[in-house]
């Protein structure tokens, strides 16, 4: 990697990600309340790398500007957005970085003959060869926006091994390979000062345009995060908004999300909660210093939600959101992804459509809420460009995932108030049996709700508990489902705040 009289950026454009309109990002701090599969480990040869310190704001001659060469791997929507932002903001970025120029050397795409939906920069070469970027000695920073956990993993690890800084938007890769990435970075940066360390930046990987990663890295070193609660998947939030506000069924809301480009052809990662779980895992590592296997984080999607649940949620004075929640109590950290009842006076209840929001509760700042667009061309590309600029400005960290916390332990057990909905066939003793089973497992009932029965085939009632453990609730639900009068599986979910009543 060498500096030239002009900065060259190479962008490797592969796949596309979903498009959603960009909007202003908001941070709200209250009380502060103020308005982001598995592949086997493989060995990577560590070739002798040029020193990343070459990217410091200096040049070989007073007459020549600093040169930074980018290689962006992955394409279409986000890659094109990066090109457009770098082009439109070139003069401003040059001033901001103290004279560094950022240009584009080459764009590697899956199909070089395919027309691009953005202007290819002057002097830029279109290629289909990944190695021409990863192994190019002139490339200083590789930006990976292709997605996936196979080829993308090779791109990231090989680029780092070759002494190149990496910027990525790949949450699946980070969630799946976080410990490997961390070990690889430690081996590469061992004995180096932070100014010489190869950098790994990933702001766009969680909540697109919301700067939640940088905030967790930079804004809480003197604080202690007690809880994270977030609407961190735009597709499901759009669907649940349609079910609540517009009265659509689950199938109708999914069809509408697909028409607007929010849902993939196979929406399982979104509606099953798995996309949100990957993001939650990354935030838990940053906030609590623990690396949790994704499969150990309880995860429940939105497929079982019905209009009946929204009727009861409105009766209770709130709504239902798919949330990723993590909480620390002492040295124990719990986390889950699940639909949750959220009261109408809660800030998260009013975050609608495809918008994302993350609320962080901490000792010093109390509650801080970050709201903005979690996906789309320009929100995601904006975060990638910010990461690039951070590197060019010389911002350095040897711990991109924050230091680990050996004393913290992840547990699957957590306490909450719970909502339980049961479909039933009329019979004697229903209330008595519910009370007996709850008492048997130490679950106290706060209230029982039942709307007028308009159809015997769709009769349902709801139990709201006092604060109990999720393990006790599982036992109650399993025993209730075995009763003859219970029709089909029960649906249950946590209430976001135990003091909501």
Which residues are annotated as catalytic?
279
Render the burial of 324-338: b for 16+ CB within 10 Å, e for the rest. Answer: bbbbbeeeebbbbbb
> Residue 3 — φ and ψ, nearest 5°?
-85, 140
CB 487 within 8 A of CB 467: no
Encoded tokens for 494: 């946590």
Residues 6 or more apart from 134 whose CB is under 8 A from it?
A: 71, 73, 142, 155, 158, 159, 162, 164
CA separation for the pair 326, 345 (Å, rounded) = 21
Encoded tokens for 4: 């030239």
CB 103 within 8 A of CB 121: yes
Write down the H helix ranges in 360-460: 377-392, 430-440
DSSP H or E stretch at residue 313: helix 307-316
- How far lies 119's CA from each of 109, 286, 334, in Å? 14, 37, 47
CB 393 within 8 A of CB 57: yes
Alpha carbon 152 to its chain's center = 18
Encoded tokens for 354: 């495809």
Nearest to 237 by CA among 270, 204, 283: 270
CA separation for the pair 154, 107 (Å, rounded) = 18
- How far lies 160's CA from each of 48, 51, 163, 176, 401, in Å? 11, 12, 5, 18, 16
CB 342 within 8 A of CB 318: yes
Residues 6 or more apart from 132 whose CB is under 8 A from it?
A: 106, 108
CA separation for the pair 102, 87 (Å, rounded) = 9
């Amino acid at each position: 990697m060498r500096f030239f009289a002009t900065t060259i950026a190479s962008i490797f454009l592969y796949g596309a990600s979903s498009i959603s309109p960009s909007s202003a990002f908001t941070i709200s701090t209250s009380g502060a309340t103020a308005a982001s599969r598995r592949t086997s480990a493989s060995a990577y040869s560590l070739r002798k790398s040029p020193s990343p310190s070459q990217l410091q704001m200096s040049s070989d001659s007073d007459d020549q500007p600093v040169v930074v060469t980018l290689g962006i791997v992955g394409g279409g929507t986000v890659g094109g957005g990066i090109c457009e932002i770098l082009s439109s903001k070139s003069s401003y970025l040059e001033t901001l970085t103290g004279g560094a120029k950022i240009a584009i050397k080459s764009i590697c795409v899956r199909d070089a003959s395919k027309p691009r939906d953005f202007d290819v920069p002057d002097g830029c070469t279109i290629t289909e060869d990944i190695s021409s970027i990863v192994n190019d000695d002139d490339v200083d920073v590789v930006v990976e926006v292709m997605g996936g956990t196979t080829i993308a993993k090779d791109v990231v690890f090989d680029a780092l091994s070759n002494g190149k800084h990496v910027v990525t938007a790949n949450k699946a890769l980070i969630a799946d390979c976080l410990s490997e990435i961390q070990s690889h970075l430690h081996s590469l940066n061992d004995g180096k000062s932070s100014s010489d360390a190869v950098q790994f930046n990933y702001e766009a990987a969680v909540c697109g345009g919301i700067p939640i990663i940088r905030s967790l890295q930079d804004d809480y070193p003197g604080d202690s995060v007690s809880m994270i609660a977030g609407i961190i998947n735009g597709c499901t939030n759009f669907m649940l908004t349609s079910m609540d506000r517009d009265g659509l069924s689950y199938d109708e809301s999914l069809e509408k999300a697909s028409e607007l480009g929010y849902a993939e052809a196979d929406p399982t990662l979104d509606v099953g909660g798995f996309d949100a779980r990957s993001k939650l895992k990354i935030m838990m590592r940053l906030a609590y210093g623990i690396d949790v296997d994704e499969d150990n984080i309880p995860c429940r999607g939105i497929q079982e939600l019905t209009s009946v649940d929204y009727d009861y949620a409105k009766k209770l004075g709130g709504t239902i959101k798919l949330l990723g929640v993590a909480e620390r109590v002492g040295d124990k950290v719990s986390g889950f992804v699940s639909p949750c009842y959220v009261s109408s006076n809660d800030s998260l209840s009013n975050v609608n459509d495809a918008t994302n929001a993350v609320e962080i509760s901490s000792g010093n700042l109390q509650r801080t809420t970050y709201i903005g667009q979690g996906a789309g061309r320009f929100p995601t590309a904006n975060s990638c460009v910010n990461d690039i600029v951070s590197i060019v400005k010389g911002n350095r960290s040897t711990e991109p995932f924050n230091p680990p916390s050996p004393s913290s332990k992840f547990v699957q057990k957590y306490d909450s108030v719970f909502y339980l909905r049961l479909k039933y066939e009329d019979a004697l003793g229903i209330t008595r049996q519910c009370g007996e089973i709850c008492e048997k497992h130490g679950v106290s009932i706060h209230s029982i709700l039942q709307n007028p029965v308009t159809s015997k085939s769709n009769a349902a009632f709801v139990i709201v508990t006092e604060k109990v453990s999720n393990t006790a609730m599982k036992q109650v639900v399993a025993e209730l489902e075995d009763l003859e009068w219970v029709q089909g599986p029960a649906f249950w979910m946590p209430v976001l705040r135990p003091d909501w009543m």
